[in-house]
Amino acid sequence: MTNPLRLSSSRIAIVDDESANVLLLERLLIQLGYNNIESFTNPEEALTRILDPNVDLVLLDIQMPRFSGFDILEKIRENSLDNEFRPVMVLTADATPATKRKALALGADDFLTKPFEAYEVALRVKNLLRTRQLYKELTLENDLLEQRVLERTKDLEAVQIEIVDRLGLATEYRDDDTKAHTVRVGELASNLARTLDLPEKFVHLIRLAAPLHDIGKIGISDLILLKEGKLTDDEYNTMKKHCEIGASILSGSNSEILQLAQEIAISHHERWDGRGYPNNLSGEDIPLAGRIVSVVDVFDALTHERTYKKAWSVEDAIAEIRKNAGTQFDPTIVTALLTLFPFIDQRIAA
């Protein structure tokens, strides 16, 4: 450990109603090199000071008027934290077993028998202070380790999110028309997930993962991807491969974000009625994230210009999606989308 506390500057409190005892102990401790000693002959006054967590060791007389050492032991125990070692050494003249037992039961850590022997004071004080010091260092080290693990986890998450964002950017880069499309899809998917009362973790993950739904378009030639006007059947069949290409780019990751992104890439063109691609899944066999992104993707494609189509109004897009609820789209998710556009919804003739 860096900068270990020197034992000689440990804070030691002496509580004994007989000033002769206090003076004797003080002198002994000073001879032993300790230089941070506070003494109290009035136990009530002592109490206001020795509960300070910076006191390293309490030397405590038991037989005192009004307020006994037992009372003080109880107060110290009540005020101690679980993970700290606050040693109390009891000073005993009458070392009856009953007194010792009671002191131990109340949390005393050691005994010094009056009259004091210098070597005994030296040994016991040093042992208790070193134990306390080790406790402190261990606690400090644990705190530091915990802190470092937390920071490292945060760093890893931030790096993951950054890489995912940049992958999304790579998708957009190919196609001017879909610029910002990926980010919007993440945001709307996340809002829909929240409207559907899905767990907050899923709401968070889908915002990060959904922007990667079309990453497989990286593998589609510009001639098809950027074609102005309608695709031929062959071209459209090639275009449909972007689902599997995307899934294979994203496969095998330990990252929850990429795992969800893979699920979305492979399933976002499936249809509720089973006539989608690539696997002709239907209904709830389609992963929920894919069903959500399917609705969001089409909404966004309709409301923005493509090389092959003009932008639709939000009203027309909503009407088109509503028309396809139960055939192309999961109707529950369409209903949730409508609640996100309450004003527009009222204006559409149902």
Q: Can you give the binding site for ligand C2E, defined by CB under 6 A?
A: 227, 230-231, 239, 269, 297-298, 301-302, 306-309, 320
How far, in Å, CA of 323 to CA of 331, rounded? 10
How far, in Å, CA of 317 to CA of 315, rounded? 5
Alpha-helical (H) ranges within the chain are 19-31, 43-50, 69-79, 97-105, 118-173, 181-195, 200-209, 222-225, 233-239, 242-250, 256-267, 288-303, 314-323, 331-339, 342-347
C-alpha torsion sign, points 91, 96, 100, 102: negative
Closest CA to 188 of 324, 317, 325: 317
Closest approach of Cβ 236 to ligand C2E, in Å?
Answer: 6
Q: Is residue 257 near ligand SIN by the rule CB under 6 A?
A: yes
Q: Is residue 214 near Fe ion by the rule CB under 5 A?
A: yes
Shorter beta-carbon distance to ligand C2E: residue 197 or 233 = 233
How far, in Å, CA of 1 to CA of 141, rounded? 8
Q: Which residues, 166 to 205, sit near ligand SIN by CB under 6 A?
A: 198-199, 202, 204
Shorter beta-carbon distance to Fe ion: residue 56 or 270 = 270
Shorter beta-carbon distance to Fe ion: residue 10 or 262 = 262
Confirm if 103 and 73 have CB atoms less than 8 A apart: yes
Distant-in-sequence, close-in-space partners of 175: CB < 8 Å, separation ≥ 6: 217, 225, 226, 307
Q: Judged by CB under 6 A, which stretch of 89-97, 135-143, 282-290, 321-329 contacts ligand SIN?
A: 282-290
Considering only 110, 165, 244, 256, the residue that binds ligand SIN (CB under 6 A) is 256
Q: Is residue 61 near Fe ion by the rule CB under 5 A?
A: no
Considering only 142, 143, 308, 326, the residue that binds ligand SIN (CB under 6 A) is 308
Q: Is residue 287 near ligand SIN by the rule CB under 6 A?
A: yes
Q: Is residue 299 near ligand SIN by the rule CB under 6 A?
A: no
Considering only 141, 143, 157, 176, the residue that binds ligand SIN (CB under 6 A) is 157
Burial 145-161 (b: 16+ CB within 10 A, else e): eeeeeeeeeeeeeeebe
Shorter beta-carbon distance to ligand SIN: residue 173 or 308 = 308
How far, in Å, CA of 249 to CA of 125, rounded? 66
**Residue 307 binding result from ligand SIN, ligand C2E, Fe ion, none, given CB thresholds of 5 to 8 Å by partner type:** ligand C2E
Q: Which residues bind Fe ion (CB under 5 A)?
A: 214
Which residues of the chain form contacts with ligand SIN (CB under 6 A)? 157, 160, 198-199, 202, 204, 255-257, 287-289, 308-309
